[in-house]
Amino acid sequence: MHTNDCPQTRSLLSLSVGGWVRTFVASAVIVAVPSTFAQDTSEGTAKSTESATESATGTSTETTNTTPSAPADNVPAPTERPQIHKAIGAADPLVQSFNEHLTILASPWMEGRLPGTRGMERAMEYMEDQFRKAGLEPGFQPSEGGSKTYRQPFSLGGKREVVEERITALCGNELAFTAGTDFKLTSLGKSGSAEGEIAFVGYGIEDGPEGYSSFADDHSLEGKIALVFRFEPMNEQGKSLWSEGEGWSGRAGFAGKIGAVAKRKPAAIIVVNTPGANDPRIDSLTTAGGGRAMADAPVFMMSTAAAEKLVAACDGKRSLMDLRKLADNPPADQPKSFDLTGSKVSIAGRIEEKPVLAENVVGVLPGRGALAKEVIVIGGHLDHLGQGDFGSREGPGKLHPGADDNASGSAGVILLGDLLKKEYDTLPAETPLRTIVFIGFSAEESGLNGSRYYVDNPIYPIKDTVLMMNFDMIGRIKDGRLSVTESSAKGMQEWAAPIYAKSPLTIVRGERSGGGSDHASFQQAGVPILFAIIADFHDDYHTSRDVSELIDREASVEAIKLWQALASDMARRPERFELDTTAGPMRAQPMRVRAGMRTRELEDGGLEVVDVTKDGSAEKAGIQKGDRIIKWNKKDIATRAEFVDELRTHEVGDKVQAVFIRNGEEKTVYVEMQGAPNSQ
């Protein structure tokens, strides 16, 4: 929320249409110059722009000397390059506007639009600014009174944040360790501080094969600092002694290890990156994201090097590797776990649950006359994955611009707000018109949270909401093919078909099923929906490669024009659609796909994969036996019934997001659904 009081950002955004965009353009890659700029100075400035670009981008356009250097093989000679400003200047004004909104929302300035971040705040301010400029009214009345706003706030739960972390060895000379490099407090435990002796507990595993246990029966950990190795017993090469083939067995995970140590009531737990382990993760101190706490004591991760120093200072007889060897093959005549006698370590760790707030951006186009009480919702999610913190198919660490997903749909919602407002303004005052609510949803990627919150806390009664139109990825339309899904409501197909027919796009009907995006929240509440998404998926989805250069602006604008035609007709249509209840709940739907795995419910939630079918959907996506599925199709999955219900909404070829825990680590994959036998 800090962006609000940061003058610099505000002034930048108020410049958003003119100065800032221009400066941004000059300094970055090929993007839009506002058409107005191009037209009046096209010839003259073209020249200047080129020289400007050179200085800004340092690419040699050789405008000064006449002999251009030989262009690289596949780079067209400067003279052959399309001149962006000319292309934009010549483009349809709607394409120019779409291009501007898209380029800004997918720009690095928006930092991948992760809820709760500065980048997302900028994106929301931009959308709000555009809604205001279009003349849409603020939609949300704050419960504490005051004037209406364009923001509908909602809580995204809490984020566990480390506010204090300290480890000091008091064995002889005081040895303070450095947070962040030597160790990190994890969110696997609770806050606390303590001073105590080090209790070495090997790998912290109590139910290994052949009765292997890391714990000596008579060894109490109460009030002590438990030192435990990551993974499980390993051989000279640092590979597991227990798992057949690559990787670690299910016993190496944090959940089992922390649980076994914690129940012995130590004052704190330090998990050490095991020396010599053949796993790239031993160089990192991060653990899986802020899941639920597994221990009542603070749990730290410590680097191998720091643990070497700790053992050297506090034991002095054995090295860290000596301790590992003892844990790999505990000698029968020695205790499996023991204290480093005379050692003392002082620790402190404090985690605070910081509420994460998110906001839907809401603009209203009031209706008129007899139809004004009824509402059409036009929406799309504004959020994306930030730096790929979660949900990335590539892994965290890189900017995920989310140009197609869903800067394209958000730019569409902004444009539709402007187009439909203008349309309403041109119609005779007595024309009965429905109210249209434009929404940029937040937190869709983490589970349709914004749309679910809106449906539970609607601005207009859900029973009066006659249609929800959702855009999610309309940027990379291939061969003019757009997938549009309609609810099974009487007369809806007959109504929509002639409007589809007027579009130059090829409308692929309902190939993409109900779930997976914000319309699903409305569908579940009994609102008829229209959902548009690219018909042919690309492999840049949920990666850092989903960039604005790859967006087919013209095709996107055709999708927007189609949505305008549908919305404009629905705004005046005397009757509303009634959902076809004979279709019955989802359960009635025949199962068309097969997940290719057998699962069983776990008492603390999620489904354990007990078996995967060879070459089945799950195996192909990389899901393994022992994995714990916690999310499917962006929904939390606690029971098999919920899972099966979701499966019923899928079609062959759907790529469905699955999130699971393996060895305490959260993983995200996309499962391509294979057909169920005789699912023709």
Which residues here bind Zn ion, judged by CB under 5 A? 405-406, 472
CA distance 506 to 535: 10
Residue 267 or 416: the one with the smaller Cβ distance to Zn ion is: 416
Is the CB of 300 or the CB of 541 nearer to Zn ion? 541
Q: How far is the CB of 472 from Zn ion (least distance, A)?
A: 4
The minimum distance between CB 381 and Zn ion, in angstroms, equals 6
Q: How far is the CB of 610 from Zn ion (least distance, A)?
A: 31
The smaller minimum CB distance to Zn ion, of residues 279 and 472, is found at 472
Q: Answer for the pair 382, 440: CB distance below 8 angstroms, yes or no.
A: yes
**8-state DSSP, 489:** B
Minimal distance in Å, beta carbon 522 to Zn ion? Answer: 16
Nearest approach, Cβ of residue 383 and Zn ion (Å):
9
Q: Which residue is nearest to Zn ion (CB)?
A: 405
What are the φ/ψ torsions at residue 520 (nearest 5 degrees)?
-60, -35
> Rounded to 5 degrees, what are φ and ψ at 36?
-50, -45
Cis preceding linkage at 406, omega within 30: yes
Name the nearest CA neighbour of 345 among 459, 453, 227, 237.
Answer: 227
Query: Measured from the CB atom, is 128 or 405 closer to Zn ion?
Result: 405
Q: Nearest to residue 298, comparing CAs of 262, 344, 274, 340?
A: 262
Nearest-approach distance from CB 269 to Zn ion, in angstroms: 39
Nearest residue (CB) to Zn ion, 240 versus 410: 410
CA–CA separation, 172 and 442 (whole Å): 54
Cα separation, 71 vs 84, in Å, equals 19
Burial of residue 433 (CB within 10 Å: 0-12, 13-18, 19+) is buried
Q: Which residue's CB is nearer to Zn ion, number 13 or number 448?
A: 448
Radius of gyration in angstroms for the set of CA atoms belonging to the chain, rounded to a whole number: 29
Q: Which is nearer to Zn ion, 249 or 517 (CB)?
A: 517
Q: How far is the CB of 673 from Zn ion (least distance, A)?
A: 18
Rounded CA separation 170/465 (Å): 66
Query: Is the Cβ of residue 374 or residue 472 nearer to Zn ion in the bound state?
Result: 472
Spatial separation of the C-alpha atoms in residues 194 and 182, rounded to whole Å: 19
Q: How far apart are CB 233 and Zn ion at their closest, in Å?
A: 43
Distance CA 680, CA 147 (A): 55
Question: Going by C-beta distance under 8 Å and a sequence separation of 6 or more, which residues neighbour residue 201?
Answer: 214, 215, 219, 221, 226, 227, 228, 261, 337
**Nearest residue (CB) to Zn ion, 391 versus 528:** 391
Query: What is 227-248 written as a DSSP string?
Result: EEESS--B-TTS-BSSSSSSS-
- Token couple for 651: 């079609």
Nearer to Zn ion, 221 or 414 (CB): 414
To Zn ion, the closest distance from the beta carbon of 641 in angstroms equals 26
Among residues 622, 673, 663, the alpha carbon closest in space to that of 231 is found at: 663
Q: How far is the CB of 473 from Zn ion (least distance, A)?
A: 6
Check if the beta carbon of residue 426 is closer than 8 Å to that of residue 492.
no
